[in-house]
Every structure is written in C-alpha cells, then in structure tokens.
Structure 1
Amino acid sequence: MSHNSGRTRWRRFALVMVPSLLVTAALGLTMAQGALAASFLISGQKFKLSADRLAARGLSIYGMVDRTRKGDLVPVVVTGAKHVKIDGLCQSVVVPVPVLGPYTLRLTAAEQGGQAVAKDFYVDATTLEADQASLSDLDIGIAAGSLTEGEINRGDRKSPFFNPDGIAQQAEEVVLTDVQYRAVAVSAATLSAPDLELRLKQGLHECF
C-alpha cells in the first residue's frame, strides 16, 4: 500500500503495529527460553519525550521486543529516521528518592529558537501520539526486513528478537506536531541541540 501523501492523527497508526508486536513478542519468548541474549538491554523504566514539531526524512516504524537486564521482555514500537529536525525538545523521567519523595530529571533543548538535529534517530516507545501527521510516499504493510526509505536500528537487526517478516511502515518524509512519546529507549548516531538544559527538580515536572 502506497500513497504520495497523507494527513491523519498519528495514534491511528499504532493499531497497525499490534499484530507485528504480538508475533515479535512470541518470537522473543522463544529466544529467551533458548537463552539467547538480546543485543540491547534497557532499564525498563519509562520516560516521556515530547516535541513541538518533528520533521524527519527516511522514516521507519516496526515492532520489536526490548529486554531488561533482569530478562523481562518489553514489546515496543520503534520509530526511526535517517535525519530529523526537532523544535521544542523535552525529555523527562521521575526518580523516586527515599524520604525526599519524587524528583524529576528534565532535559530541554531548542525551546528558544533553533532546532535540534539528529542522524539515525530511533525511539523505542510504548505509546506515540501527535496532534497532526503529514507524510509523503507512505508504505504500510512492508516486511521489516525489506524497508527501503527508512532503516532498522543496527542493534535491533542483530537482535534475535527482530522479526524481518514482521509488518512495518515507511515514509520518505513526515512532519509531526505536538508529539508525545512514552518511551523506554532513545538512540542516535549524532545529536546537535541548541540551548541544552538539564535540571533536577523536586516534585513532578514532566514534559506532559
């Protein structure tokens, strides 16, 4: 299935990924029982990532199963981009501190003008929402191992949890506005971010 362009609410696309995630999760359980280690271990703690605007070239979307150091399996949807520009970047995670209560570690960039720029940018997310999505040259239903516009994270491709026959999506270009991720991992080959600020504040000060 291919379209030259599309405009829709991004959360609808998550529904397409559910069958792939179930298949990949089953594969992951099989591999775990065979005592094969995943190539990428996560902490398992979710954090929030948001952007006022995210413009990407070479988009890929596919199902994966991340694994924690304890061996727990976490099904995720990976959204990747060869090149991405981000306005109003925010990342936050709540850290419980004994006696003192919760603290929020919050990172922001490109909020006073300018853009954060990244290459080979991947977000392993449990949810992704955006108020508006504009896509060009969209393909839905392509096999994950046959992506041409976007790419598979190098670590994922080497993982026994990656299913090359699982359903995936790709687009030549995408623009998302008011983006909100609940994620367990982010990786990038390079990241350049103006006005970077990292703060630890007592209480809840999440991105959304």
Structure 2
Amino acid sequence: MKLKKVTGSYAGRILLAAVPVAIVSTLVIGGVAQGAVPVSMTISGSQFKIAASQLDGTSFSQYAGVATDTAGKQHAVAIANIGQAKLTNLCQSVVADTPLGKVGAIITAGGGGTPAEATDLQIGMTDLKGNTSFDDVRIGVDASTVQTKAKGAVGDFAQDSSALHITDLQQISWSTTAAVFTLNGMHMQVTTDGKECF
C-alpha cells in the first residue's frame, strides 16, 4: 500500500484530495450513478476522516500494516478488510493549512435510506471509534490465514469475522480503497472554515 507524496503548493494538496471526487462526479454525471462505480478513494500525503451512522459489512479481517509514501516514510496502520460494506450517512473529509486558512473537501453519500456500498474495501487506519459487534469472530489468528481475500504477514496477530456491524463510526485513515464504490446521493463540498466530518 503506497501513498503519493504531496509536493508543490497548498492548492495542489487540496487538488489531490479532490481528485477521487472528480472521478466519481464524472462517472455519476455520465449516467453511471445507478450502477457500480469502479473507483479508488485514496488521499495522499495527509490523513483524513471518515464517519458513518452505520456500517454493515461481511467477510471482515484486521491486522497490523505499514503504509509507505513515495518519500520512503513509513506510517504504522491497522489494516481492515471488508468484502461487502454498506455505509449509512457516509462522510469523508480532509483539511490542509494554506495561506487562505484551513481549506478542505467534504464528501457525503449514503443518506435518504440508500446506503453507500463498497466491494473489497480496504482501509489503512490509525484511529477507530464506534459501537461494534462481530459475527463468528476469531481473535488471535495468524494474519496469513484470515478468511478474506487480502491477508497479512505470516506470524502477525489478526482477527476476522463473518460479519461486522458498527454504529456511530468515526475513523482517521491514511488510505481507503475499494474494487467498487457506489456513492448514492454523493455531494462534494470545498470548505474554507476547517469543517470536518467530526
């Protein structure tokens, strides 16, 4: 898992954060909104926040990992894999300090009774809060033997479960990727007041 190095102006940082939004917007405007949108939502160079009122997932695993940026700097992360995920009232935000103040972007989706959906979701996170329950959980298994497509290193501590349920999700991450991300009711907003998901 690699993160792009952010170089250049502060405006460039916000542009990098907004690139996945632009991809999604183009596809949705092109008439793909009712189908599955193949997209990778990865914010490079800075951590970002994700929130959801509810996450329901299947085929879950979690183990330790390292995210390395192009400058070679390593960031310790907990890697979470979810085979199929539904996220209600999804929010993603990133903010950067600029000469104009705190400028950022907020993406929301999955409201109005139609959750956002992701397939083969993988998250490299540093912080996670919420009320969580697991189905058929196994804790302390070898990371190379977890029951998900993505697996960790031999000998590393891991956990997995057949299903995962989280309410009041709040997460700080370095990266989020998915084979398919369907953002129902997506809205992207550029902010200049430092506003974030939480």
Q: Where do 1:129-148 residues align within 5 Å?
A: 129-130=129-130, 132-148=131-147
Specify the SS of the correspondent of 1:93.
strand
Deviant stretches of 4+, over 6 Å? none
Per-residue deviation, residues 29-73 of structure 1 (Å, max 9, x unmatched): xxxxxxxxxx52343411000110000000010110110111111
Residue 122 of structure 1 corresponds to 122
Is 1:172 matched up with 2:152? no
Residue 111 of structure 2 corresponds to 111
Whether contact under 8 Å (2:2, 2:70) holds in the other structure is: no
Specify the SS of the correspondent of 1:205.
coil
Whether contact under 8 Å (1:44, 1:74) holds in the other structure is: no
CA distance in 2, matches of 1:151, 1:140: 18
Q: Which runs of 5+ in 1 are unaligned?
A: 1-38
Residue 191 of structure 1 corresponds to 181
Q: CA deviation at 1:118?
A: 0.7
TM-score by length of 2: 0.77
**Percent identity (aligned):** 28
CA distance in 2, matches of 1:120, 1:165: 23
Whether contact under 8 Å (2:138, 2:161) holds in the other structure is: yes
Residue 49 of structure 1 corresponds to 50
Q: Where do 1:58-69 residues align within 5 Å?
A: 58-69=59-70
Q: Which runs of 5+ in 2 are unaligned?
A: 5-43
Q: CA deviation at 1:117?
A: 0.8
Q: Where do 1:34-113 residues align within 5 Å?
A: 40-42=2-4, 43-98=44-99, 100-113=100-113
Q: CA deviation at 1:116?
A: 0.6
Q: CA deviation at 1:89?
A: 0.3
Q: RMSD value over aligned CA atoms?
A: 1.3
Q: CA deviation at 1:112?
A: 2.5
